[in-house]
Amino acid sequence: MRIAMIGTGYVGLVSGACFADFGHQVTCVDKDEGKIASLRRGEIPIFEPGLDALVDSNVKARRLDFTTELKAPVAEADAVFIAVGTPSRRGDGHADLSYVYAAAREIAGALAGFTVVVTKSTVPVGTGDEVERIIREVNPSADAVVASNPEFLREGAAIRDFKFPDRIVIGTLDERGRKVLSDIYRPLSLNQGPLMFTQRRTAELIKYAANAFLATKITFINEIADLSEKVGADVQEVARGIGLDNRIGSKFLHAGPGFGGSCFPKDTRALVKTAQDHDVQLRIVEAVLGVNDNRKRAMARKVATAVGNSLRGKTIAVLGLTFKPDTDDMREAPSIPLVTGLLDMGAKVRAHDPAGMEQAKKELPDIEYFDDPYACVNGADAMVLVTEWVQYRALDLDRLKATLARPVVVDLRNIYRAEDMAAHGFVYESVGRASEPKV
């Protein structure tokens, strides 16, 4: 099958490379000439484990190509995937669909022969209807079917998620469209990837509902963590105890500083706005957004408490800046409000991250960055663990204690055990577990 992938961001690049690895002929299209030139040189603009090798092997096999010219790839394609950004619109929280609609107009003018136009971007319910209207308006003679095929990729594990999916949701009831998309995903049949066909609007809502539910699980366990601290319980044992119930499951029950990233904050806001537009109140999802925002801001106060309430003139070392490990994505990362809060309280902040420091410098320009975690904590009054990178899971605790000016560790991901930290002489503060005495 011939595929045109419009957009070479996270979703477009990962999807395009994986489709090419299935044996399809894929052309990724992007207006950014610099990005296309970089991709042609083999330079990957995002950090995703295994993606550089996957792109390189399929380019060499001549199954994957990159261009700024949309017309020819679309005219030759059996399916055109729209994988452009849908960021939160400033001011109201709605998804900004301007890139989707602009892509639809360009695609419409280039269509030749029967083509399935697929929205891969995360879009509100009804977006496919508007894409179809635009195509009919621009090119009334176009023989095209518009389908929805939302992505369910986790940053840091995207290639495996694409090749071993829990489900593949396709929103179209058109038989020709179903056949084309079934053929595209047929290589996954050996992995028994469940193909689920629905109406287009249902597929669009599945994506938002899934992300809102996962965000709710995270927020729920974070609130239970707050209660655990007050009553002397251990939130990790609580999470395990409830997660062993297969009706609940153990995933997304890890207490921490709140959720961030490119999907959960944006998609939960967009879902709330969609509901409001249809006179429906999603009180649970609205509460999730409010609780999560408050939690991220509260983490700076947690650090202040650990060092004796005042941060004025103190140096705080932050380990981990990206919203999760194995990515360089800083979008809505909990580290941003944390560091901003620390600075507002008068602290000097230094930071280390294995992959995200270049991106972080755009969001947090007023702090000092270090290439080594031990250099980062050298002389600091406290160390704060924000992202659970594997590099931070086995730090030399004796060296750490000798390096810090004060033996204070605030572990926002519960990486370490309180008894181990106490044995090494640390004042240790974690999330949802009993606090250690302050120095």
Residues 409 and 303: beta-carbon distance below 8 Å: no
Interior/surface letters 286-324, b for 16+ CB within 10 angstroms, e for the rest: bebbebbeebbbebbebbbebbeeebeebbbbbbbbbbb
Residues 196 and 169: beta-carbon distance below 8 Å: yes
CA–CA dist 81, 28 (Å, integer): 9
Which of 18, 28, 263, 376 is labelled catalytic? 263
Q: Rounded to whole angstroms, what are the CA distances from 189 to 13, 20, 157, 319, 403?
A: 22, 16, 20, 42, 54
Helix-helix angle 98-110:127-138, to 10 degrees: 40
Describe the strand order of the beta sheet including 315-319 as a list of residue ranges: 368-369, 348-352, 315-319, 382-385, 408-411, 427-429
The size of the chain, in residues, is 439
Q: Where are the alpha helices (DSSP H) in 139-199?
A: 158-163, 175-185
18 given a catalytic annotation: no
Residues 145 and 172: beta-carbon distance below 8 Å: yes
CA–CA dist 315, 349 (Å, integer): 6
Q: Rounded to whole angstroms, what are the CA distances from 37 to 40, 124, 299?
A: 5, 32, 41
> What is the amino acid identity at position 195?
L
Element (H, E) at 271: helix 264-277
Residues 27 and 17: beta-carbon distance below 8 Å: no
Residues with active-site annotation = 263
